[in-house]
Amino acid sequence: MFLILSEKEADGVLFFDEMNQSSPLVMASLFQIFLDRAIGEISLSNEVGIFSAGNRASVDRANVFEIPSPLKDRMSEVELVVPDINKWNDWALNNKVDGRIIGFLNWKPSRLYNVEKNSADKSSTPRGWYRCSNLIDGITDLEELELISSSAIGEATAIEFSAFIKLQRKVDIKDLLNNPEKIKEIKEIDLKYSLLSSANEYYKLNKKKEVLEKIFRLCNYLEVEFGVLLLRMCKSIDEDFFRKGVREVGEGKQLIKDYAKFII
């Protein structure tokens, strides 16, 4: 591979993933690569970039070695931070993450990335939540959902997540869609986020023009931040169907005036 990247016309990236999982002796062999862009007499093409990645020992509970100072001096370092919930929403909605997860994490964003140094329980991370989304697709039984989700996000967080979904049982989503003014009676924040998840799931299972119209009407009785999130969740299910509904449904035409910058 190195010989290929040494060709004059070579263009690409030499990537050392999980670099600090290797021993200091192995990492020492990278000194020349990072400083001189070469191994012995073989040099990399000028169009080849050198990158590496690794976990943080003190934060990520990773079994890693300290990167030798001489190696650090041969490279530039940046730390990738965990996205805030708004930035994660953008990614999650574009990647069709389960609406129940989006609702839960908007209610409790501290669980998006939750690594306890002194806990043996599995951590919850953005990557784990995406895996959880795939694992629980189509699962509604709470006991089964809690068991499966714990394999991706840890037992403690899975219990909270399951309890959040259980809140949906307190809301008759069909009644609310038919009588959206009743939503003003709901004051609890956790129940409101659970309601968004319920409405999104109902629309996902009943993707019809009349259901979408009821979703639009419901948004007229929600605070703006809740309405925007619900609309974005529904849009992520089928963008073409959603856009068509916005144009054709009376309630949608009004919403587009109020929320255009958020949902178009």
Q: What is the pLDDT of residue 264?
A: 61
Question: If we measure between CA atoms, which residue out of 180, 241, 170, 249 comes closest to residue 206?
Answer: 241
Q: What is the pLDDT of residue 251?
A: 65
Q: Residues in the chain, how many? A: 264
pTM above the 0.95 mark?
A: no
CA gap 11, 173 in Å, rounded: 55
Band the pLDDT of 102: cuts 50, 70, 90: very high
Q: What is the pLDDT of residue 260?
A: 66
The encoded tokens of residue 71 equal 């190696």
Cβ-based neighbours of 38, under 8 Å, separated by 6 or more = 32, 44
Q: What is the pLDDT of residue 59?
A: 67
- Which H or E run contains 165? helix 155-166
CA gap 255, 263 in Å, rounded: 9
Q: Where in the chain are the domains?
A: 2-72, 83-170, 171-264
Average pLDDT over residues 132-153: 94
The encoded tokens of residue 165 equal 């979904």
- Which H or E run contains 28? helix 24-28
Q: What is the pLDDT of residue 1?
A: 63
Band the pLDDT of 193: cuts 50, 70, 90: very high
Q: What is the pLDDT of residue 10?
A: 79
Average pLDDT over residues 23-42: 86
- Check whether 38 has a pLDDT greater than 80: yes
The secondary structure of residue 68, as a DSSP letter, is: P
Question: If we measure between CA atoms, which residue out of 56, 120, 130 comes closest to residue 98?
Answer: 130
Express each pLDDT in 115-124 by its tens digit: 876 666 788 9
